[in-house]
Structure 1
């Protein structure tokens, strides 16, 4: 019976991870697509790179917050799936942990236990991809608009 419970937990964490990747990638895509369309309309907007950076930062914070909500909902306070370390169970703890995972900072004062480790690992990979995507977008905007 214990083996079946572990398989269920891994499948559940995998499904949650897949859902979060699809959600955050879609959110990021539509943010950058909307930003791109806006910049095409504003051909002579001098603060374009500032708008790009602020908008992308906001998108990343929304994505980190979505992962934090998932951690808060899934944190059962047992060894199957929870956060451990210097944690009091607040949303702020989960937000902090999510930001550390998303940015691949991994400080270690809070750490996942059980199959929550799978979701945290996927968040790190997802964050790396989305941050790189944002950097590439910002580079293209600067390259296209700031000719020297």
Structure 2
């Protein structure tokens, strides 16, 4: 059940990320006319997009912990929003190596978030690289 939920959450992450990239692309100035501005808008847009994705998973963890059917968090977890955001961000960006420990089936969601974070971070890096490549053409 937890693996399936993790799969659905990562699927939603990918769909949301796709539309987020489209929004960032829509805000980006023309790379030929304003190359530095294009790079900065994309960078800041991606930073915003990833922050929203991290916050969304923190809300999911909050809901799952409140429900109680998926296990819990231990170690240095302090049961605060800041702790959930930190946990979500570490899972998203570094494959889950943290002082916060998972117990129960919530580990599957933790693992799937790490997979999804890796996927969208590399997707974003490719997107930023393509903008830089166009902006820096001689």
| 45-54 or 131-140, larger mean C-alpha shift | 45-54
User: Relative CO higher for 1 or 2, CA cutoff 8 Å, sep ≥ 6?
Assistant: 2
Distance in 1 between residues matched to 2:24 and 2:133, nearest whole Å: 16
Structure 2 partner of 1:147: 137
| 129-138 or 83-92, larger mean C-alpha shift | 83-92
How many aligned residue pairs are there? Answer: 137
Runs of 4+ in 1 over 4 A off after TM superposition: 40-43, 76-80
Query: How far off its partner does 1:144 sit?
Result: 1.3
Asked which structure has the greater CA Rg, the reply is 1
From 8, 18, 23, the counterpart of 1:34: 23
Distance in 2 between residues matched to 1:97 and 1:53, nearest whole Å: 23
Distance in 1 between residues matched to 2:121 and 2:73, nearest whole Å: 24
Unaligned stretches of 5+ residues in structure 1? 1-10
Distance in 2 between residues matched to 1:51 and 1:104, nearest whole Å: 25
| 78-87 or 133-142, larger mean C-alpha shift | 78-87
Structure 2 partner of 1:110: 100
Please give the per-residue CA displacement for 1:104-134, whole angstroms capped at 9, x wherever unaligned: 2534310211101000000111000100001
Relative to structure 1, the CA distance from residue 22 to residue 80 in structure 2 (aligned partners, 3 Å threshold; closer, same or farther) is closer
8 A contact 2:14–2:120 mirrored in 1? yes
CA RMSD of aligned residues (A): 2.2
Unaligned stretches of 5+ residues in structure 2? none
